[in-house]
């Protein structure tokens, strides 16, 4: 593509045809590949400075440019450049964090963890580990244990509990003190939070079997109880 220069006003100062095309938004289709890269903050800044120099060279001596406007325009273009650089840095940081999380998740393989779940197993008078996670302190918290028939066989009174993860150690018996038969039971947590009825997130134990890529690229852990949970949902390592 041949280039030409255009004289501004009656002076000898000239502006390249490419600069005029940029000003007017009339770049030819033959330069579409380069115009894409020309929209970067650096290219926009260079184009702006070229336009500013041409404007200064050809300003009306009796009505010169307002220096405060030039300062404002320079500040704006520097802000655009700074935002572009910040976005690049944040993207790089996010990639590094995801890689670090994947490494941490891989180290958990073979470990038993507490993660969101509602099923516990009773076998030989013992139960698998479980707990409750509270977003806020509770003045009273109870855990209901329900059998396969949907009947509440016992209620564990935890009393007042602070916010955070609360591991529960419990001998599996019914409300009369009799040992519960082997099987799978469902748990739910309810109580009083900030003076009103509230719930807690029940946690059940599982062994980390593998690590997979979850939503948005963040790592998730595959547990022996069949659940797949984001790494951020792991509340405790037992």
Which one of 44, 76, 103 terminates a domain?
103
Which one of 35, 68, 103 terminates a domain?
103
pLDDT in tens, 10-50: 444 454 555 555 545 555 544 444 444 445 656 766 777 77
d(CA 224, CA 207): 5
CATH of the domain at 224: 2.60.40.4070
Mean pLDDT within 59-76: 72
pLDDT in tens, 82-117: 787 788 777 777 666 766 677 778 888 999 999 999
What is the pLDDT at residue 4? Answer: 54
Nearest CA to 130 out of 225, 43, 57, 8 is that of 225
Q: Are residues 79 and 121 in the same domain?
A: no
Q: Are residues 68 and 156 in the same domain?
A: no
Residue 217 has pLDDT above 80, yes or no: no
Backbone angles phi, psi at 84, to 5 degrees: -60, -45
Q: Are 224 and 110 in contact (CB under 8 A)?
A: no
d(CA 211, CA 223): 9
What is the pLDDT at residue 63? Answer: 76
What is the pLDDT at residue 21? Answer: 58
Q: Are residues 54 and 99 in the same domain?
A: yes
Task: Give me the domain span that covers residue 227.
Answer: 112-237
Q: Are residues 26 and 121 in the same domain?
A: no
Mean pLDDT within 215-219: 78
Q: Are residues 118 and 97 in the same domain?
A: no
Mean pLDDT within 139-146: 95
Torsional class of 110: left (φ above 0), alpha (ψ -120 to 50), beta (otherwise):
left
Global confidence as pTM: 0.60
Between residues 185 and 6, which one has the greater pLDDT?
185
pLDDT in tens, 175-197: 999 999 999 999 999 999 888 99
Which one of 48, 69, 103 terminates a domain?
103
Q: Which SS3 state, helix, strand or coil, does residue 219 take?
A: strand
How many Cα atoms are found within 13 Å in the side-chain-facing hemisphere of 225? Answer: 22
Q: Are residues 126 and 193 in the same domain?
A: yes
What is the pLDDT at residue 102? Answer: 77
Confidence label for 233 from pLDDT (cuts 50, 70 and 90): very high
Q: Are 191 and 140 in contact (CB under 8 A)?
A: yes
Give the dihedral sign, CA 69/70/73/79: negative
Residues 207-227: b if buried by 16+ CB within 10 A, e if exposed: bbeebeebeeeebbbbbebeb
H helix count then E strand count, the chain:
4, 14
Q: Are residues 64 and 169 in the same domain?
A: no
What is the pLDDT at residue 85? Answer: 76
For residue 67, how many other CB atoms are within 10 A of its CB? Answer: 8
Tokens of 169: 């150690």
Q: Report the domain count for the chain.
A: 2
Q: Are residues 193 and 213 in the same domain?
A: yes
Burial class, 47, CB count within 10 angstroms (exposed 0-12 / middle 13-18 / buried 19+) = middle
Q: Are residues 126 and 94 in the same domain?
A: no
What is the pLDDT at residue 182? Answer: 96
d(CA 202, CA 183): 18
Q: Are residues 225 and 121 in the same domain?
A: yes
Question: What is the percent of the chain where pLDDT is above 70?
Answer: 76
Question: What is the percent of the chain where pLDDT is above 90?
Answer: 46
Q: Are residues 10 and 83 in the same domain?
A: yes
Q: Are residues 157 and 69 in the same domain?
A: no
Q: Calculate the average pLDDT of the chain.
A: 80
């Amino acid at each position: 593509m041949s280039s030409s220069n255009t004289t501004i006003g009656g002076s000898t100062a000239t502006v390249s045809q490419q600069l005029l095309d940029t000003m007017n938004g009339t770049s030819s289709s033959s330069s579409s590949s380069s115009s894409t890269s020309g929209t970067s903050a650096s290219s926009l800044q260079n184009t702006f400075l070229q336009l500013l120099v041409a404007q200064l060279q050809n300003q009306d001596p009796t009505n010169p440019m307002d220096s405060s406007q030039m300062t404002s325009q320079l500040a704006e273009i520097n802000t655009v450049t700074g935002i572009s650089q910040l976005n690049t840095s944040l993207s790089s940081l996010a990639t590094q964090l995801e890689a670090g999380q994947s490494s941490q998740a891989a180290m958990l393989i073979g470990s038993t963890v507490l993660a969101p779940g509602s099923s516990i197993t009773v076998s030989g008078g013992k139960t698998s580990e479980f707990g409750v996670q509270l977003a806020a302190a509770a003045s009273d918290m109870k855990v209901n244990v329900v059998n396969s028939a949907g009947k509440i066989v016992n209620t564990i009174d935890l009393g007042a509990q602070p916010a955070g993860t609360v591991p529960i150690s419990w001998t599996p018996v019914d409300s009369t003190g009799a040992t519960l038969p082997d099987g799978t039971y469902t748990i739910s947590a309810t109580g009083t939070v900030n003076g009103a009825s509230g719930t807690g997130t029940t946690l059940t134990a599982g062994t980390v079997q593998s690590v997979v890529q979850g939503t948005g690229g963040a790592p998730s852990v595959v547990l022996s109880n069949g659940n797949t949970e984001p790494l951020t949902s792991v509340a405790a390592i037992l």
